Amino acid sequence: MAHTRGGRESLRRFPEDFRFGVSTAAYQIEGAWNEGGKTWSMWDYLVRTDPGHIADRSNGDIAGNSYNLYERDIQMIKELGVDIYRFSISWPRLLPTGRPNYINPEGLAYYNKLIDLLIENGITPFVTMYHWDLPQNLNEQGGWLNPEIMNWFGDYARVLYQQFGDRVKHWLTINEPYVHCSRGYGRGNHAPRVRSPGIGYYECGRNILLAHARAYHIYRESFRATQNGQVAVVLSAEWGLPSTDSVDDAEAVLDSIAFHFDQYAHPVLSESGNYPQRLIDRVAAASANQGLSSSRLRPFSPEEVNYIRGTTDFLALNHYSTDIVYRNNSLIGQFEVPSYSDDKFVGTYKDPSWPTSSSPWIREYGPGFHQLLVYIKNTYNNPTIYITENGVSSTTGLNDDPRVSYYRNYLTAVLDAIDDGVNIRGYCAWSLMDNFEWAFGYTMRFGLYEIDMEDPARPRTPRKSAFVYQHIVSNRVIDYTYNPDPYTQSITGNAFGMSASILFTLTIAMFNLNL
């Protein structure tokens, strides 16, 4: 078949050393919110004190119940045939006080069992230290707005290295600083619901970069020589296309990138370090216009710049969609003052011709992913990249053709980027299973496997996208003609050669018989 770049008739192969995986996060799937010695996270607190803020008034109390069904989760990973599982550790499950004075033996046993079983099945754990579930007692001490969190996080990271570093060789420190800070400390629609878009947002990001660097240096100084692993930060990045060919819109695109990806990538990945100059200049100018004597973006000292620079062994990248970006007079008066949105001063929208999903912030546009990856290569000296999240939501149901199209087109973009010399080593789909999607609750389903959230047993059933992803992984090509029927076809690839439904039935039967 002809090799046509980016074309559906192409069957280009992924490199033999390219690795595929799936991703999850602790609060979104584990459940067992008050079991096994775990204390409250700030999300446990939020869903109890402000349940109306969640779209369907749901919570992560049970979620996918992976705390009790982790063996089935690993079986699903085997069925898909992938060799990476990215998951996160719940800080309050392992350290109930948030500090290393007490390590919860039940939490420690749970993660040891999970890691050991993954390795026994030939699956590489990529472990996220922090995916937004801060211990509530640390949140009550200021959370990510307290500069002491640099040391709190460093102490937590040291415990992780000590307890799991003999087996875990890929550490991801903090998930998506931009999203965490903008939602949690800017807009205030995620835990801890602090609304400080002009100051708190920037302080959160500043402290996250220093905390990440602290965890990196602890590993480099005390553990790398004996454990021989890698440490990386997880950054989110959307792409932007100018609405018109005007200079204003071209500048708006650059500012949009500077205030999202580059705000966190530039201090870590660039040779000069520090925030991108665009960000520094715009926040300083806006602060001056507001009569302030100094910028609301508190600068790093030269020592802090040096401490943060170079603190990642690869780039863990999350990407979902592309925006159309513009800047014109219609934006005047549209943003809260002061705020990072007003500082940035750009407007965005989605092209209505792009395929949509149940998530209003995601529309399918694979070429934007390709352009983003090339931008990272050209801007940051072609770092090693593992794509640690990429996916699209649906509603319930097994025939998820929009997700199938999304994965095929975004993986085609990955192949295009590889052809352009981008150093991409792996790709993880978000998500292995349906999960609690933060403020959206269960109204959005990202899972390759559907979970019946009304059934106490939380059965997992492969969607059409699971079959398609498995086909891509096993054949290392994207075949647009492959059209499985999830209602009649059994997923293969599990260790016992059984269908998912039969295997799950046997697992439950053995559990009930205490075998």
Summarised one tens digit per residue, pLDDT across range 147-188 is 999 999 999 999 999 999 999 999 999 999 999 999 999 999
The structural domains of the chain, ordered by start, are: 19-239+250-323+351-512 (3.20.20.80)
What is the greatest pairwise CA distance in the chain? 71
- Return the sign of the alpha-carbon dihedral for residues 34, 40, 42, 48: positive
Asked if residues 187 and 143 have their Cβ atoms less than 8 Å apart, the reply is no
| The pair of three-digit structure tokens given for residue 169, joined into one six-digit string | 């060789």
16 is known as an active-site residue = no
- 3-state class percentages of the chain: helix first, strand second, coil last, to nearest 5: 45, 15, 45
| pLDDT by 10s per residue, the chain, length 515 | 334 454 444 589 999 999 999 999 999 999 999 999 999 999 999 999 999 999 999 999 999 999 999 999 999 999 999 999 999 999 999 999 999 999 999 999 999 999 999 999 999 999 999 999 999 999 999 999 999 999 999 999 999 999 999 999 999 999 999 999 999 999 999 999 999 999 999 999 999 999 999 999 999 999 999 999 999 999 999 999 999 999 999 999 999 999 999 999 999 999 999 999 999 999 999 999 999 999 999 999 999 999 999 999 999 999 999 999 999 999 999 999 999 999 999 999 999 999 998 888 899 999 999 999 999 999 999 999 999 999 999 999 999 999 999 999 999 999 999 999 999 999 999 999 999 999 999 999 999 999 999 999 999 999 999 999 999 999 999 999 999 999 999 997 543 333 333 333 333 333 332 32
How do residues 3-52 score in pLDDT, each as one tens digit? Answer: 445 444 458 999 999 999 999 999 999 999 999 999 999 999 999 999 99
| The pair of three-digit structure tokens given for residue 382, joined into one six-digit string | 């072609």
Q: Which of 30, 79, 389, 437 is catalytic?
A: 389
d(CA 324, CA 243): 6
Asked if residues 383 and 269 have their Cβ atoms less than 8 Å apart, the reply is yes
| The pair of three-digit structure tokens given for residue 179, joined into one six-digit string | 């999203």
Q: Which of 79, 176, 203, 364 is catalytic?
A: 176
Q: What DSSP assignment string belongs to 449-495?
A: EEE-TTSTT--EEE-HHHHHHHHHHHHSB--TT----TTTPPP--ST
d(CA 126, CA 171): 6
d(CA 2, CA 398): 32
Asked if residues 266 and 246 have their Cβ atoms less than 8 Å apart, the reply is no
9 is known as an active-site residue = no
Cβ of 78: how many Cβ atoms within 10 Å? 19
Residue type, 353: S
